Amino acid sequence: MDKVFIEGLEVDTLIGAYDWERNIRQCLRLDLTFGWDISAPAAEDDLSKALDYAKVAASIDAFAQAARFELVETFAERLAAALMSEFGIAWLRLKVTKPGANPAASGVGVEIERGCR
């Protein structure tokens, strides 16, 4: 299976379970890997057949701007479902890191895989 990836994408969103978090936007760092057959776009050098990184990133940013979740887990599940539906992605891996959530760690978060390889 071919894979397309976006690493270190940072988005600001409203996320957190504590009262003080409900009034500020916080940064999440996303690492995404998508199962995507690159043979057709590569053969024809045709962006319309590729998974367009710019469109995916814009969709993720719009999702993050509108999101209002307490849990990183909920953010990850809903974003994965939205991307798979919007772009016809059969499989993805998504790592969501919340930097600064624990002072003893550089980040905390979740990593999920959804779909069929």
Provide the annotated active-site residues.
98
Q: How many CB atoms lie within 10 A of CB 81?
A: 12
Q: Rounded to an integer, what distance in angstroms lies between the CA atom of residue 80 and that of residue 55?
A: 15
Q: Rounded to an integer, what distance in angstroms lies between the CA atom of residue 30 and that of residue 46?
A: 26
Q: Pull the structure tokens for residue 65.
A: 């701007």
Label residue 46 exposed, middle or buried (CB < 10 Å: 0-12, 13-18, 19+).
exposed
